[in-house]
């Protein structure tokens, strides 16, 4: 079996612009890959069908799991690469479930990229990238980002992507540090969107407009708003208490990632963040993460098809 890293994401910014006729919401969001990851092991076996095993979380091992559906979709799209072989997938879960970090979507995309690599296919070749992107969009709105990594702007449902060049997004300044606070409970996407009030459409804020225009921008300046944050915090007093605690700890910025429940905090002094672990509610995971540029994300994920084989 071959092992891949399935990285998490943060939403540095998330606007809910309007409700669409298809029932989804029109979004504008800034995705950023971070170095928290699940492990995904993929291999062929003599037989037929798809086997999925999951460690580290109580998750389904059948079609209810997005990774399983991603494998089904790949086999259906590229039957010649999978003929007369069974497929086994093992997930080692480390990304908090329902934490707004995209773990399930990342697993699905990693299965697509991993199967391409195992099949000796170049997932960055334009035709194959387009086919994988179409497959990813059918699986879920966040899945396409995890075929891209690095930093990217998502529009539409979040699945229409503009990748931001590594050379144009300046990393955090020396001394800055990102920490995640993942509480013991998760929040479903349905709950997060239940009470959101879409804002009227407006041009992107200055740093985002600059990034979309191909101008250099500091990653820290791309941390904007999250329109889901207010309604979720109002409905979850325990998360509001955690948010308030982080604000009072001296963090430069505190935001909820995606639909929650994970909060991320930006500190100017990494040492100031470490003692906070002792003050957080029981079960809260407190960890430092680093952002990943696109090239580093691809390399660390293990997606190079040149290794081939099974």
pLDDT tens per residue, range 117-157? 999 999 999 999 999 999 999 999 999 999 999 999 999 99
pLDDT digits (tens, 9 = 90+) for 159-171: 999 999 999 999 9
Contacts of 121 (CB under 8 A, 6+ apart): 78, 81, 128, 305
Q: What percent of the chain has pLDDT over 90?
A: 85
Residues of the chain with CATH 3.30.70.890: 169-289
Task: Write the CATH number of the domain with boundaries 169-289.
Answer: 3.30.70.890
3-class state of residue 156 by DSSP: strand
3-class state of residue 124 by DSSP: coil
Q: Does pLDDT of 83 surpass 70?
A: yes
Instruction: Choose the CATH number for 2-164 among 1.10.510.10, 3.30.230.10, 3.40.190.10, 3.30.930.10.
Output: 3.30.230.10
Provide the pairing of β-strand 285-289 with 177-182: antiparallel
- Looking at residue 308, its pLDDT comes to 41
Q: Does pLDDT of 305 surpass 70?
A: no
Q: Which of 9, 38, 159, 227 is catalytic?
A: 9
Q: Which of 38, 93, 142, 227 is catalytic?
A: 142
pLDDT digits (tens, 9 = 90+) for 1-16: 999 999 999 999 999 9
Check: CB of residue 294 under 8 Å from CB of residue 279. Answer: no
Check: CB of residue 14 under 8 Å from CB of residue 225. Answer: yes
Q: How confident is the model at residue 309 (pLDDT cuts 50, 70, 90)?
A: very low
- Looking at residue 306, its pLDDT comes to 58
Dihedrals phi, psi of 274, to nearest 5 degrees: -60, -45
- Looking at residue 310, its pLDDT comes to 38
Residues of the chain with CATH 3.30.230.10: 2-164
**38-52, 153-167, 231-245, 270-284: range with lowest mean pLDDT:** 270-284
Catalytic site includes residue 9: yes
């Amino acid at each position: 079996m071959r092992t891949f890293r399935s990285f998490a994401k943060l939403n540095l910014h998330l606007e809910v612009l309007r409700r669409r006729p298809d029932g989804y919401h029109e979004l504008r969001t800034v995705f950023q890959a971070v170095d928290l990851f699940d492990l995904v092991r993929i291999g062929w076996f003599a037989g037929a069908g798809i086997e999925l095993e999951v460690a580290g979380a109580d998750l389904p091992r059948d079609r209810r799991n997005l990774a399983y559906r991603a494998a089904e979709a790949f086999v259906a799209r590229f039957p010649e690469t999978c003929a007369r072989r069974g497929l086994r997938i093992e997930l080692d879960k480390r990304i908090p479930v329902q934490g707004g970090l995209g773990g399930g979507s990342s697993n699905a995309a990693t299965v697509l990229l991993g199967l391409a690599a195992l099949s000796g296919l170049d997932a960055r070749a334009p035709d194959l990238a387009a086919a994988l992107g179409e497959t990813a969009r059918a699986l879920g709105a966040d899945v396409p980002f995890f075929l891209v990594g690095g930093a990217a702007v998502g529009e539409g449902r979040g699945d229409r992507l503009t990748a931001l060049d590594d050379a144009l997004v300046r990393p955090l300044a020396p001394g800055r540090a990102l920490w995640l606070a993942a509480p013991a409970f998760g929040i479903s996407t349905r709950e997060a969107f239940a009470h959101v009030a879409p804002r009227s459409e407006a041009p992107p804020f200055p740093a985002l407009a600059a990034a979309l225009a191909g101008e250099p921008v500091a990653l820290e300046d791309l941390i904007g708003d999250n329109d889901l944050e207010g309604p979720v915090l109002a409905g979850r007093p325990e998360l509001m208490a955690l948010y308030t605690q982080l604000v009072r700890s001296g963090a430069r910025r505190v935001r909820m990632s995606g639909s929650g429940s994970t909060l991320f905090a930006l500190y100017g002094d990494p040492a100031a963040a470490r003692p906070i672990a002792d003050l957080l509610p029981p079960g809260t995971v407190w960890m430092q993460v680093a952002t990943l540029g696109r090239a580093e994300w691809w390399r660390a994920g293990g997606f190079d098809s040149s290794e081939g084989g099974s």
